[in-house]
Structure 1
């Protein structure tokens, strides 16, 4: 049976698993709240998550695909909440400066693209193509965002700084949306998810090679209080 015969099933599964992926941020935020600070956790996945979802909401609105529109609308709201929590607990000057730069760059790009699409674009097909390219960019960066911590993994020989729930869910989600892209014959859906699938696969292999905690370490101390190792 052809893959297109399973379009509705794949779309439903992709939607459910994607929402589950967005919910994986709850565990990361729970650890941040428990520690009382962000520690070594990067805020970049949340920043790029807001950016990527905003671009996909715009693209799927132009495309008229309700499955992807609803999914990314939910994702946008959740990622915005996670980012707000991260900013609240970001007490390190270095981390705050870094995440602020990321927000200015990506959110300015998002605002400029939205202004172009809804106020200045005269060719709908050209606008859809340009937004699609930004979606590809955002999806690839979102899938690769945990790679910013890979240097730390090789330095410490452990994966404590990598968000396993996010990486595992990205692995599953990108596989499903890649298949959905094949059904739609839409390269903007196919290719970024295929690349994301490969990136997530690489990140998962790190959990097979390195332990999840540093040897002999039971906890970390933040502001004089004992915290849980992530």
Structure 2
């Protein structure tokens, strides 16, 4: 999932522009990875090595993507990225302090941080929908990140299965289960508008040039003198 935006950023680098792409999915992913890393630490939820290692790799990749986006995007988007990262850092710091000061058992800490992770995980999975209004208005899914939507769907399914393997983890199962459904919805939207665009292009191609030429060359009546 974390590698799925690579084609989008290769396009950004080649065109030296972020075009109509949004930074919101990558900002949401940074916050989500940071929270899950904290959730997987021994002081909160012991024996969560996979959660920490995978999300650490994801955090590194998302920061790389944001650096590329920041370099090629507009001044407005740069301010959005800076402000959102500052807000995320403050929110994370507040959550860490509340968790360590107000909760004193693994169960209580896991519950508190787990609920927050579920909320931000759903925000991450839903973040590609930030472009949905443009997709509906233009009837084109060109700027909808297909690979991110597909990876989000598959990632949600796999983590949901993982949450049910050894011992049921309610927070991983809930966040990723809903995330898988959101990913499926995004794929449906992408597929619908892609097929619609292909159908329109096919209808334009199938138009008979001879009919158009005859129409253009048809004689017009002169007004009476």
TM-score by length of 2: 0.79
Aligned to 1:123: 104
Structure 1: distance between partners of 2:15 and 2:93: 34
- Give the match for residue 24 of structure 1: 4
Instruction: Show the counterpart of 1:136.
Output: 118
Q: Are residues 1:51 and 2:31 paired?
A: yes
Where does structure 1 lack aligned partners over 5 or more consecutive residues?
1-20, 217-230
Residue deviations 1:7-27, cap 9 Å, x none? xxxxxxxxxxxxxx1111222
Structure number, greater radius of gyration: 2
1:38-97 superposed Cα distances (whole Å, 9 cap, x missing partner) = 12111111111111001001111232211222111111111111111111212x233233
Q: Give the conservation status (yes or no) of the 8 Å contact 1:135–1:188.
A: yes
In the TM superposition, what is the alpha-carbon distance from 1:121 to its structure 2 partner?
Answer: 4.1
Q: 1:153 to 1:129 in 2, by over 3 A?
A: same
Higher relative contact order (CA 8 A, sep 6+): 1
Q: Could you say which residue in structure 1 is the equivalent of 2:69?
A: 86
Q: Residue in 2 aligned with 1:96?
A: 78
3-state SS, counterpart of residue 210 of structure 1: helix
What is the correspondence of 1:51-70 to structure 2 with a 5 Å cutoff? 51-61=31-41, 62-63=44-45, 64-70=47-53
State how far apart, in whole Å, the 1-side matches of 2:97 and 2:7 are: 34
Alignment of 1:178-189 (within 5 A): 178-183=160-165, 184-189=167-172
Task: Give the number of equivalent residue pairs.
Answer: 194
| Counterpart position of 1:145 | 127
Q: CA deviation at 1:106?
A: 2.4
Q: Distance in 2 between matches of 1:209 and 1:42?
A: 21
8 Å contact 1:48–1:106 — kept in the other structure?
no
Paired with 2:97 and 2:14, the residues of 1 have a C-alpha distance of 39
Matches of 2:102 and 2:66 in 1, distance apart?
Answer: 30
RMSD: 2.0
What are structure 2's unaligned runs of at least 5 residues?
202-225
Distance 1:37 1:169 in 2: 24
- Alpha-carbon spacing, 1:194–1:87, altered in 2? closer, same or farther (3 Å): same
2:137 and 2:8 map into 1 onto residues whose CA distance is 22
Is 2:28–2:123's contact at 8 Å kept on the other side of the alignment? yes
Deviation at 1:142, TM superposition (A): 0.8
